[in-house]
Amino acid sequence: MPSTTFRIGGDLPVGRLGFGAMHLPTEKPEDRPSAVAVARRAVDLGITLIDTAHMYGNGANEEVLAEALHPYPKDLLITTKVGVVRSDETGEWALNGRPDSLRAEVDQALRRLRVDRLELLQLHRIDPETPLADQLGTLRELRELRDAGKVGRIGLSEVTTAELAEAREVVDIASVQNRYNLTDREHEPVLAACEAAEIAFLPWRTVAWGKAGDRAEVAAVAAELDATPTQVCLAWLLDHSPVMLPIPGTSSIAHLEENVGAADLVLTPELRGRLDGVAGAA
């Protein structure tokens, strides 16, 4: 059976099945109690890795996590992402990898999450308008922030193997967050690079928009295990690689509990082989 824990950066232990907070509702005040309840239930169920970002609600997602969970349990890691900002004039979102912008986002995240240190900070995207060398210089600046005590570990999101390799020449990379699921394995080479370097791989869109049950083989395996197709897809991710840390998201406690149940599924080699053969976009 796959290990249930992983040490991010080699020294920060978390449970391998995490929670993506992106879908927690924050726009309407009447939705906030529901968002708080889901976040608290995640921790009650034993989740120790929660992923958020400045972009999720323009910081509101970070604030709702703080409202729900602060003061945080000692074993809980809340990781956030920076590098995408919203224009005050147009309201549109755009990538911004300039050092001054990233520093400001880090300070805002610290305030919203009510912490003095971000144990894992991830760059949401590499800014295409900034030369890659300059963007990597931004990561070097983030490394300097770490020395100042504001950031513990640095991760990347939606990167290629070449970008990951170049980034690692500048700064230690503790995690990579790329789109990946049973039917969408475009970033398999990136996953392989993470395995070789023991870098945590946090797949997002873990269940292909909830269409896993459309695949006959997935539905068949789910029936044999008395599980749901979603649980089968999450179990496959956990079984597929020891560095895989899925972060399925939801705004529903029922779906959250369903997702957490995937950690208890055991895939036999025969079932694993059948699922390995599932390919193509759902």
- Out of 56, 201, 204, 236, pick the active-site residue: 56
Helix (H) or strand (E) holding 215: none
Question: Measured between alpha carbons, how far is residue 116 from residues 111, 152, 182, 261, 272 in Å?
Answer: 8, 11, 37, 33, 43
Neighbours of 4 (CB within 10 A): 12
| Cα–Cα dist 113/105, whole Å | 12
> What single-letter amino acid sits at 78?
I
> What single-letter amino acid sits at 42?
A
Q: Tell me if residue 56 is catalytic.
A: yes
Q: Where are the alpha helices (DSSP H) in the chain?
A: 32-44, 60-69, 99-113, 132-147, 161-168, 188-197, 216-225, 229-240, 253-261, 269-276
| Cα–Cα dist 9/221, whole Å | 34
> Hey, which residues are catalytic here?
56
